[in-house]
Every structure is written in structure tokens, then in C-alpha cells.
Amino acid sequence: MNNKLAKLFLLLSMFFGTIMIFIIPPFNSPDEDSHFLYAYELSRGNLLPTSKGNQSGYYIPETIMEDIGHYKEFANDRTKKYKYDDYYFDQLLTDNYDKTKFVSAVVSKSPKIAYIAPATGIFIARHLKIFSGSDQMPVSVLLQFARFFSLLAYSIIGYFAIKLTPKFKKSFFVVMLMPLALFLRSMISYDGILLVIVALALANMLRIIDAKSKLTKKDYILFIITGFILLNTKLVYSIIFLCLFAIPKEVFGNNKKKAKSIAIIAGGILLLTIIKTMFYMSVKGSPEPMASTQIDFIIHNPVGYFKILVHNIIEQLKTQEYWMLGTLGYLDTYMPVLYVFLLKILLVTVFLVEAFHEKILLPLWLKIGLFLLVIFDIFGMYTMMYISWTPKVTNTTGGSEITGVQGRYFIPFLLLVPVIFNNRLVDKIKKFKLSKYLDKINTVLDNNIHYITAASLTMVVIILIMRYYC
């Protein structure tokens, strides 16, 4: 079954993801409007945003902005429904894109490679001329094509991640097919591609560690590109590259050659980052004076801030867990509590079985290092939101609240759970027959995990239809 998991992942991801594309009203996922605008401009060949005053952005057709405002009325209003009649006419009525307005693009400095898939979809849709030869496609149609090509690209990357990894295939499978993970992969969001990029890079490192195979040119290219995307989109996920140091020196020949290889990868990532930075030197950003004040507060009150940080993490623990496992849409569509509980049981069971059942030689320092870095990253996420986002929401600095952190940020870290806790303890406690029980559970999962996941995603589709149409 493990050999078929990659194909089953691709099938389930494309099938249920395509359904989500059609039933989720346009722009009803976090920041999808901003991501769409950037992909839209990229599809038109505009590689750099335009500067206006202290802001960077694009001149976007007014029709697109009006439609975005209309569709976002569904957000946080569960009484508002997207009728089939509205859906029908949204697909057929052409738009006029002649008049434009300047729109600040908050994601304009993200690596363009993260938007190639949705931009390709928009480019194709704009040139199909389906309706009476008109190239003035409805915004909803452009968005559907962008979503589909994002889903296709991300699903293929996820397929190769599961195929590559020698261990923890079921963990990769269930994490990347979690409701929120699939939802993000079906919308326009770099959170979707970040998850599969983390999975692909981690899978390839585990493959090299397990097989002790030498690095090829393809490996170097893969690590440099994935490292560049992670470093320049969400730095916190770059901790997976700690696994490079766990590759046995025999793979390289000796420690000196190992250091040289890792330096080449790091140098390639840094070079691409420098080129990208130079590319954006002319792009202006919006000044954020409150962020500077917030930084000063942290510097001058380290102990007080640490108490604020720990308090907020503990207070938001249950909320973040629910957002990660059972919240879709614009953070306003909640799965049943029982469903979230069962999903949690499934994840814990898969992680536990694979952590004890899969055998891969990983040094203790790697597991401890990854665990500490995950904790550090969580602290870093909250701190960044305290600096950049919280003042905008509360209109104050130095407060006791941290806002803006969302459960989806933690999904890639779940891929590290079986890696961190992987050990051979089960072999030392056979007198409790734990090994036999784990083998039985593992066999059940091997034969049924795709059915369980399909049933889970069917429930998700039902809840989404209830949310938006019933």
C-alpha cells in the first residue's frame, strides 16, 4: 500500500480539491484577493509592482476590485448564501477591464516562483475567449483557472514528496490531505505551496539519509530552489534544512566535502536571495511607525514581553488547534467538534505508529535540534505578528494581546512530528507486546487510510455546501 500512497494522494487531492474550487465562493479564503492580484499582474507580464508615493502596488481594473468587495461580503456572515443563480451568471457575464485604479499589494515582494501556477491559469483563461470571442473574462472564471492550476501544481509536488520519502509516507499523506491543507492548496495562497515544498525538501533529505545515496545535480537544484522559496516567503520553515547536517559524511566522502556541499547549497540560496533583493530595490514599502515603537517596547521590556508571549501562546492553544484542524473558508466555516476530535485521533495514531514502527537512523541531536527550533519558530511567529500586525488591529503598542497568528501556519511543522519522535524504543519493550499491537494498527492503516481520508474529505464537502448554499 505504501507504494500506492503517492498515486492515491494525487487522486484524492485533485478530486476533492476540484470540488472545493467550485463550491467555495470567490475570494473566500484568507488573503486570496491579494494573492490573486499578484498572480493576475504576473500573468500580464508585470514582473515588478509600480511605486506610488511610499507604496507599491498595481493599477488593477476597477471591475475586479468591485467584484472582490462583493464576494468578500460572505466572510464572517454565515447567514449570507451563494445561490446557484448567482454562480450561474458569474460564469457568463463578461467584465469590462478598461478603467483601472491603484491598489497596494501587500504580497508584492514574495518570490514570483510561488505564483507561477495561478498566473499560468489566469493567462490561459484570459486567452481562451470562450464568450463570443471576448477576452474580458469574468473575475470568477479567472479565479477558477488560477485555483485549478495551483491545485494541480501543488498536488504534483505533494505526489513526488510522498513518492520520494522512504519513511513516514502515511504521515505525509494524512497531513497534506488535512481539510485545511487541501483547502489552501485549492485556493490561491502561498501557504499551500509552502506545505508541499517543505514536504518535498524533507522527503528528499530523508531519502538521502536512509539510502546513503550521493547528492546529484538534481538534489542540489531542488534544495537551492526550495530553500530560496522558504527563506524568502516564510523563513520559519527553513529549519528543515537542519536535516542536511544529519546526512552521513560517507555520502560526501568526508566531513570536509560534506561542509563544502552544504556551503554550495547555502551559497546558491543566498545568491538567489541577493538577486531577488536587487530586483526589488526600486520597490517602495509602506512606512510602519507603530512597528518601530513595538520593537522598542520589546527591547526595553524583555521580561514583560516574554510573559505576554507565553500567556498568549497558552491562551490561544485550543483556538489555534481548532483553526488548524477544523476551520475553513475565511476562518468562518467550522467543522463539527466530533469530526475535529476524530481527525486528531487519526493524526496522533498515524504519528505514533510511524514514529515507533518506521526505522530510520536519525541522530539524537537532530531530533532535539528540530524540536527546539519548532518552539523557537512559534515564539518567532507570535513576535512578528506582535510587531507587524497587532498594532494595526488594536491601534496601540505595548499591549498584552497578540493577534494575527493563524492555525494554518503550524501545519508544515506536523510533518516533523514522526521525524522528531522516531525511535526504536518499541524494540526494547516487547514484553508489553506493544510491537505486535503497533504492527496490527499499521496493517489496518495500510489497507484503509485512503478510505478513511476519502470519508473525511466527503464530510468536509458536505459542511462547505451547508455553509455556502443551504
The pLDDT score that the predictor gives to residue 79 is 85
Residue range 378-390, pLDDT digits in tens: 999 999 999 989 9
Cβ within 8 Å of residue 445, ≥6 positions away: 170, 349, 350, 353
Q: Exposed e or buried b for every residue in 88-105, given b needs 16+ CB within 10 A?
A: eebeeeebebeeeeebbb
Q: End-to-end alpha-carbon separation of the chain, Å?
A: 38
How many angstroms separate the CA atoms of 76 and 63, rounded?
Answer: 23
Q: What pLDDT band is residue 137 in, cutting at 50, 70 and 90? A: confident
Closest CA to 209 of 316, 367, 337: 367
The pLDDT score that the predictor gives to residue 132 is 44
Beta strands in 234-308 (DSSP E): none
Rounded to an integer, what distance in angstroms lies between the CA atom of residue 40 and that of residue 32? 12
Beta strands in 292-446 (DSSP E): 327-328, 333-334
Residue pLDDT, tens place only, 339-370: 999 999 999 999 999 988 887 888 889 999 99
Quote the radius of gyration of the chain (alpha carbons, Å).
23
How many of the other CB atoms lie within 10 Å of CB of 9?
A: 24
CA angle 315/321/327 to nearest 5° reads 120
In sequence order, the 6+-apart residues with CB closer than 8 A to the CB of 146 are: 36, 39, 40, 118, 119, 121, 122, 125, 188
The number of helix segments (H) and strand segments (E) in the chain equals 22, 5
pLDDT at 351: 94
Quick check: 152 and 189 in contact, CB under 8 A?
Answer: no
For residue 27, give Cα distances in angstroms to 60, 139, 192: 16, 10, 15
Q: How far is CA 197 from the centre of its chain?
A: 9
Q: What percent of the chain has pLDDT over 90?
A: 57
Cβ contacts of residue 73 below 8 Å, gap of 6+?
80
Instruction: Give me the DSSP letters along 439-458.
Output: HHHHHHHHHHHHHHHHHHHH
Which pLDDT tens digit goes with each residue over 244-271?
999 999 899 899 999 999 999 999 999 9
> How many CB atoms are located within 10 Å of the residue 289 CB?
9
Contact (CB, 8 A) for 175 and 411? yes
| Structure confidence by residue, pLDDT tens digits, 264-323 | 999 999 999 999 888 777 666 555 678 889 999 999 999 999 999 999 999 999 999 999
